[in-house]
Amino acid sequence: MKRLLSLAIATALSSTVMSTSVLAENIAIVGGKVITQTKQGTLESGTVLIKDGAIEKVSSGTDVPSGYTKVDASGKVVTPGFVGALTSLGLVEVASWAGEVDSSASSTKVSTTGAALDVTYAINPDSTLIDVSRIEGVTSAATTIANTDLMFHGQGAVIGLDDDADILKDKAFMVVNMDGASADSHGGSRAVLWVTLEALIDEVASTKKIPSLTSGWDGMNARADIKALKGVLKGDIPLFIEADRAADIRQVLAFKKRHPDIRIVLLHGVEAWRVADQLAKANIPVILDPQLNLPGNFEQLGATLHNAERLEKAGVKVAIGMETHNIRLAAQHAGNAVANGLSYEGGIASLTSVPAMILGVDDQVGSLAPGKRADVVIWSGDPLEVTEAAEQVYIEGEAIEMSSRQTKLRDRYMALKDVSAGKTSHYVKPQ
């Protein structure tokens, strides 16, 4: 009898799990304006089929095969999940509390130049800032150390913004800051800064075999740094070089000529428009914040809202990044870039396919193509308009809960009532 009861329970549970699995795995998003970021372009009324957490098919029309849960997206816009080009997500929670900040680093015996530092050890999937980002349509993001006096900012990673913060790619990129602030920390002059960078690179190139722990070593790079930088020199790990001033960007271009195998991405690039043709010729993409339209310092005298537009016209691939956990605002910034001349297609690409390409995860995310992760967003309207919002976000085919710490606090205080006094709280808008 017990065996029969156990079997019945197991059968019931199996049936429930199977039913839930079908609902979660087989989804048809129907009738929306689908921006694919593939050769299919934009479908005015399309269907996105999701199966087993991946995109199965994207097609025009609204026909849905049997066995799919239909999601009506009529009158709405469907896009790939946005890719945060550069963030500190998962590395910082409360910036004023040291125990919650893993986005800063200093030198150690293990790493003297910062190249070896690996952010994957520090990522916290329970960070509330991840929820804040994903309900705004960001489904994956590059994360790395933001603050350091070291030459390099460690080995950044690309994470999915699901509950587990799955690592889509470790050792995905490395950042080096070559602006005036970095020069102040490395000899007080760009003359010292660039010589230091070249010396570090040359040391790695000339070191054919990574020194063992038992052998003597007195190089500028620690042993672990040499191992990490080998990937940069081979072109396996892109090197993000931060520079704003046109003169500094010209040095980046010269560095690329000296080291053609290194995959360089220009970061920040406030005056990049001044050397747009050279960047295009060198095939160097740019991750920029298009809102930097005023000279915050003497390195940004050429700041303009037309930076993205001019780079695009020259043939430079442009991504939108903000070097902060507030990557949720990237869509607004892309919209402002479009308002100032960037093509609409370029604005969407700057949030999806371009950062995915730069980070080397375009085989997983950044477009709605069969076989890729089903990171999909249904928008109330144009995603580049601040008046529109993400209505539902799917990560690997699963509909995420559209809530965050902020929305929960909003709901809590909007509904708060002073029961003892019989009066509605001042948090509640009068009827």
Q: Are residues 61 and 97 in the same domain?
A: no
The whole-number average pLDDT for the span 287-312 is 91
Q: Are residues 276 and 181 in the same domain?
A: yes
The structure's pTM equals: 0.88
Q: Are residues 97 and 47 in the same domain?
A: no
DSSP class of 283: T
CATH number at residue 338: 3.20.20.140
Residue 226 maps to a domain = yes
Q: Is the pLDDT of residue 215 over 90?
A: no
Helix (H) or strand (E) holding 22: helix 2-25
DSSP class of 101: B
Contact 173/152 with Cβ under 8 angstroms? Answer: no
Q: Identify which has the larger pLDDT, 211 or 385.
A: 385
**101-129 tens-digit pLDDT:** 777 788 788 899 999 999 999 999 999 99
Predicted pLDDT at 24: 54
Q: Which is nearest to 74 in space by CA: 40, 138, 135, 28? A: 28
Q: Is the pLDDT of residue 22 over 70?
A: no
Residue 298 maps to a domain = yes
Q: Is the pLDDT of residue 306 over 70?
A: yes
Predicted pLDDT at 430: 53
234 Ramachandran zone, left/alpha/beta (phi>0; psi -120 to 50): alpha
Q: Are residues 224 and 144 in the same domain?
A: yes
Enumerate the H helices of 235-342 as residue ranges.
246-258, 276-281, 307-314, 330-339
**134-151 tens-digit pLDDT:** 999 999 999 999 888 899
Q: Is the pLDDT of residue 420 over 70?
A: no
Q: Is the pLDDT of residue 17 over 70?
A: no
Q: Are residues 3 and 105 in the same domain?
A: no
Enumerate the H helices of 54-189 as residue ranges.
128-134, 180-185
DSSP3 helix / strand / coil % (the chain, rounded to 5)? 35, 25, 40
Number of domains in the chain: 2
How many angstroms separate the CA atoms of 53 and 298, rounded? 48
Helix (H) or strand (E) holding 9: helix 2-25
Q: Phi, psi at residue 57, to the nearest 5°? A: -160, 145
Q: Are residues 88 and 73 in the same domain?
A: no
Q: Which domain holds residue 178?
A: 82-365
Predicted pLDDT at 18: 38
Indicate the average pLDDT of the chain: 88
Q: Which residues contact 326 (CB under 8 A, 6 or more apart)?
A: none
CATH number at residue 27: 2.30.40.10
Q: Are residues 199 and 75 in the same domain?
A: no
Q: Are residues 60 and 95 in the same domain?
A: no
Residue 181 maps to a domain = yes
| DSSP count for the chain of H helices, then E strands | 12, 20
Q: Are residues 184 and 226 in the same domain?
A: yes
Q: Tell me if residue 223 falls in helix, strand or coil.
A: helix
Predicted pLDDT at 187: 85
Predicted pLDDT at 422: 56
